[in-house]
Amino acid sequence: MMADPHSDDPALDEQRMQFVFELRRCGVTDTAVLNALERTPREQFLEGLFRARAYENTPLPIACGQTISQPSVVGLMTQALDVTKRCKVLEVGTGSGYQAAILSPLARRVYSLERHKPLARSATKLLERLGLVNVTVIARDGSRGLPEQAPFDRIILTAAAEDPPANLLAQLRVGGIMVLPVGQSDTVQQLIKVVKTESGLEYKDLGDVRFVPLVEGLAEDV
């Protein structure tokens, strides 16, 4: 299980306290989401010199040319997803595994798809080391979703699509929620929340973001 957020390092405790203050300032107010963010050791999802910047509210580079998302954006996306302990969640774009780690204590089950095999392997090892046994990371084309486990209560994309992918919406149950960035990869994108109802889809704009584009197919990483 993840460690208590309070450590024997006063400087680290101060960083985490300021981290939570900044998240609140940015609009992350859900107590369960804030607790998950505070208890998740973001430094373990980073390498080298970037570990010292773990509690800055900024995206940072990880392997395979990808990034770990800005913590406030992770918080706002998770908050909008409105996850409960009964939810089965699909994440498209594991990356470092940080978003999946935040979802883990909030959900019943998390399936996370990653097209870069090295990222999938490293995220799996780290999540296991943190004791997050309800997360399954799978190396596969995330744009196709995971139809064998559908329907999902919640779906989150950490890569930008031009529009909400129809095949992923088909894997979302009625009453379910999808949160994703939409827009062209070279422009400012919009973070949107989609609620699937009996009569159709309801959309809510959550603000401007910038994510890597959603790419089809498995990457050619070893």
Residue-wise DSSP of 46-65: S-GGGGGGTTSSS-EE-GGG
Residue-averaged pLDDT of the chain: 93
- Give the pLDDT confidence score for residue 184 in this predicted structure: 76
pLDDT of 221 above 80: no
Please report where in the chains the tokens 């509210």 appear, as a residue. Answer: 57
Q: How many CB atoms lie within 10 A of CB 78?
A: 26
Q: In this structure, are residues 164 and 182 in contact, taking their beta carbons and an 8 Å threshold?
A: yes
Query: Does residue 72 register a pLDDT over 60?
Result: yes
Q: Confidence class of residue 70 from pLDDT cuts 50, 70 and 90? A: very high
Percent pLDDT > 90 in the chain is 82
> Is pLDDT above 90 for 205?
yes
Write down the catalytic residue from 69, 112, 122, 143: 69
In this prediction, residues 160-173 reach a mean pLDDT of 94
- 69 carries an active-site annotation: yes
Over 80: is that where the pLDDT of 186 sits? no
Joined together, the tokens standing for residue 114 give: 């990653």
Using 50, 70 and 90 to split pLDDT, how confident is the model at 47? very high
Question: Over 90: is that where the pLDDT of 219 sits?
Answer: no
Cα dist. 95→99, 121, 206, 212 in Å? 8, 10, 22, 11
> 24-43, pLDDT tens digit by residue?
999 999 999 999 999 999 99
Contact 72, 26 (CB under 8 A): yes
Given a cut of 60, is residue 4 above it in pLDDT?
no
Structural domains present in the chain: 58-209 (3.40.50.150)
CA 141 to chain centroid, in Å, comes to 17
Segment 144-158 mean pLDDT = 97
Model pLDDT, residue 110:
98
Per DSSP, helices labelled H in the chain are 10-25, 31-39, 71-81, 98-103, 117-129, 166-169
pLDDT of residue 2: 59
159 SS3 class: coil
**What is the average per-residue pLDDT within 124-141?**
97
pLDDT at 115 over 90: yes
Q: For position 5, what pLDDT does the model report?
A: 54
Q: 169 exposed, middle or buried (CB, 10 Å; 0-12, 13-18, 19+)?
A: middle
Give the pLDDT of residue 214.
Answer: 86
